[in-house]
Amino acid sequence: MAELEIRNLHVKIEDKQILKGLDLDVEKGRVHALMGPNGSGKSTLANVIMGHPAYEVTEGTITFKGEDITEAAPEDRSQAGLFMAFQYPVAIPGVSVSKYLRMIINAQREARGEDQIKIKDFARVAQGAMELANIPKDFSSRYLNDGFSGGEKKRMELLQLALLRPEIAVLDETDSGLDIDALRTVADGVNKFAGPDMGVLIITHYQRILRMVKPDKVSIMFEGRIVKDGGPELVGILEEKGYGWIREEVGAPA
């Protein structure tokens, strides 16, 4: 059984049907790439997996580790071990990276009924995570998201990953503005963190990042559904042929 199972998912936003019966399995220990043309609903899916309140699930289920989480609150999902990059995308005035990291560790500990982390333990844990995520020391005294470059925002996400150790991480990398440094950061992080204890769903329109991260599994999304599942060979086919052949294959108008 896959840790994350999505069945027949139908999702609406503002009376517009975006997901139209989507099925997807994401497993621990695998890097799973979700690709598809712009507007196919990839970011909608990512948001719905994390329980974004703007989207309405009209049919279908999302199951995580055997539990139906279709209606669960976002914080319950992350406590259960689901992670999405930038669950808290805002710049928080006056909160340093280091303080923010302590906040997220303590939120996780509180939900587990544990005491706040001791300052000394935090220093050790944070240092370990920063080394793992390949982040320079002075980063921790910066203010959260304040003037962060694309690459620095990505480092921040990796730091969160290194600290929280989710079982399934959803990374929506559709930002076409990502420079090579940011892409490299994400790719290194995925290669480092994905393993027997962590599965990654990496969502992307572009193939670029999939030259640096080799997915175990590839699913192609089109008009609110998964229309094709395969292995890494699909990345090459898309690179060569674009998305046009998918359109033809599913019989949709161009």
Interface residues with ligand ADP (CB under 6 A) are 13-14, 16, 18, 36, 38-44, 54, 174
Nearest distance, CB of residue 49 and ligand ADP, angstroms:
12
The kind and range of the H/E element at 152 are helix 150-164
Instruction: Select 8 or 141, whichever has its Cβ closest to ligand ADP.
Output: 8
Q: Is 61 in the site for Mg ion (CB under 5 A)?
A: no
| Contact in structure between 204 and 33 (CB atoms under 8 Å) | yes
Rounded to 5°, the CA angle 45-50-53 comes to 90
User: By three-state DSSP, how is residue 153 classified?
Assistant: helix
**CA nearest to 244, candidates 235, 236, 254, 234:** 254
Nearest-angstrom CA–CA distance, 249 and 222: 11
> Which of Mg ion, ligand ADP, none has residue 140 at its interface (CB below 5 to 8 Å by kind)?
none
Nearest-angstrom CA–CA distance, 238 and 110: 45
Instruction: Select 105 or 178, whichever has its Cβ closest to Mg ion.
Output: 178
Place of tokens 């995520």: 133
Q: Is 43 in the site for Mg ion (CB under 5 A)?
A: yes
Nearest distance, CB of residue 41 and ligand ADP, angstroms:
4
Nearest distance, CB of residue 16 and Mg ion, angstroms:
15
Show contacts with Mg ion in window 170-229 (CB under 5 A): 174
Instruction: Select 43 or 96, whichever has its Cβ closest to ligand ADP.
Output: 43
DSSP annotation of 91 reads P
Nearest distance, CB of residue 39 and Mg ion, angstroms:
8
| Contact in structure between 168 and 83 (CB atoms under 8 Å) | yes
Nearest distance, CB of residue 220 and ligand ADP, angstroms:
11
Instruction: Select 126 or 221, whichever has its Cβ closest to ligand ADP.
Output: 221
Nearest-angstrom CA–CA distance, 4 and 67: 9
Closest residue to Mg ion, judged by C-beta, is: 43
| Stretch near Mg ion under the rule CB under 5 A, chosen from 36-44, 76-84, 160-168, 179-187 | 36-44
Instruction: Select 122 or 206, whichever has its Cβ closest to ligand ADP.
Output: 206
Instruction: Select 30 or 42, whichever has its Cβ closest to Mg ion.
Output: 42
> Which of Mg ion, ligand ADP, none has residue 236 at its interface (CB below 5 to 8 Å by kind)?
none
| Contact in structure between 209 and 186 (CB atoms under 8 Å) | yes
Instruction: Select 38 or 127, whichever has its Cβ closest to ligand ADP.
Output: 38
**CA nearest to 170, candidates 37, 66, 24:** 24
Nearest distance, CB of residue 203 and Mg ion, angstroms:
7
Nearest distance, CB of residue 81 and ligand ADP, angstroms:
24
Q: Is 184 exposed, middle or buried (0-12, 13-18, 19+ CB in 10 A)?
A: middle
Nearest-angstrom CA–CA distance, 238 and 222: 13
Which chain residues interact with Mg ion by CB under 5 A?
42-43, 174
